[in-house]
Amino acid sequence: MTEHYDALETREPAAREADLFSRLPAVLRKAMAAPTYAERLNGIDPGSITSRAALARLPVLRKSDLPALHKEAPPFGGLVAGAPGSFGRLFTSPGPIFEPEATHADPWRGARALYAAGFRPGDVVLNTFSYHLTPGGFIFDASARALGCAVIPAGPGNTEAQFELIEAYRPIGYSGTPDFLKILLDAASSAGRDVSSIKRALVSGAAFPKSLQDEIKSRGVDAFQAFGTADLGLIAFETSTRQGMVVNEDLILEIVRPGTGDPVATGDVGEIVVTSLDLHHPWIRLAIGDLTAALPGASPCGRTNMRIKGWMGRADQTTKVKGMFVRPEQIAEIGKRHPELGRLRLVVTRAGEADVMTLKAEAAAPNANLREAVNATLRAIAKLGGNVELVAAGSLPNDGKVIADERG
């Protein structure tokens, strides 16, 4: 068996970029066959979107806006050209958001993640993600079967029944949350049941801190993390080197300043924006609300795609100050009006039983006139008064946070 799923994973980065952006115009045309995309991308020539710079000029579609779109134009918010009957399965997730599953093999692009975690054709996999209405169970089920594995559709809970299945089928692999894997191993130990056949796992959907990683490893299970969403499937995954997560093939991943569609500098923390090249169900610049940062260079495992640090928090930092919502895009607008500023962070505190907001702004040449001008812009945009504190360039944390609510 080779270390890589296929030759796509090890091609030269420039060749991958050329391939993705040569395919993107056709994907855009397909997306624009759906009414909402047609309206959002009105006037765009798909044939001209052949680079990251050109893509960055297209509007961002925020995942947080999907429930309203789906309610206004059910079931898919006018973002999908195909009728519900043209898909294989139809799901819902909280919002509600309605997701269709395409009919082609590995529609959620998860086989690569399983392969990187050590799963191989012929393995038996215990899949404990939920199969009820939401796509989680089917994402990992379809991915494992595309790889050539046999799947036990266990779902979460009911450990006693799961022990019977494990002892009968002897699965070598587990997919599910890391929390339930620990529950399963603990319950088996207490009940004297044999789950020792499980040697590797692909986990997602919950935090997997170092302490839990070490405990799972000590129990004889080699567990890897995958990062994805119910809309896009698997976006990135760990490999044998465990140095960040490698972005999946057939996706264009951007990292943008929260509240905008503007790409950040390499290494800066920002919001994940994904464009998928699935012609049956394309996504164009979907901002998923999660923060990450790119890692430099290629993975030592030989995969050459972009690497990210993994999940680093939420980008939607909207908060309420004195009864008014303040949003990341408002802070971004302040930065656009004052390009001489660097990073911005609005800090919200309490003093004397009242909300207080202070905008900290990096400035190479701070002065009273600039502070007053920024203060006026803050009031005009947020419709609230606040303090402005100009700080040294490079002094604010590189964590993607533009609103810090410190009111406890």
Average pLDDT over residues 221-250: 96
Give the SS3 label for residue 387. strand
* CA distance to 46, 81, 150, 233, 399, per residue, from 153 (Å): 41, 31, 10, 18, 38
Share of the chain above pLDDT 70, in %: 99
**Backbone φ and ψ of 247, nearest 5°:** -70, 140
Average pLDDT over residues 18-29: 98
The whole-chain average pLDDT of the chain stands at 94
d(CA 238, CA 352): 48
CATH of 319-405, one of 3.60.40.10, 3.30.300.30, 3.40.50.2300, 3.40.50.300: 3.30.300.30
Q: 3-state DSSP helix/strand/coil percent for the chain, to nearest 5?
A: 30, 25, 45
Q: Where are the domains of the chain?
A: 13-313, 319-405
Average pLDDT over residues 325-335: 90
pTM: 0.86
- Structural contact between residues 286 and 275, judged by C-beta atoms closer than 8 angstroms: yes
The model's confidence at residue 1, banded by pLDDT at 50, 70 and 90, is very low
d(CA 294, CA 307): 6
pLDDT of residue 98: 95
pLDDT at 329 over 80: yes
Kindly indicate whether the domain formed by 13-313 is annotated with CATH number 3.40.250.10: no
Give the tens place of pLDDT for each residue, 276-292.
999 999 999 999 999 99
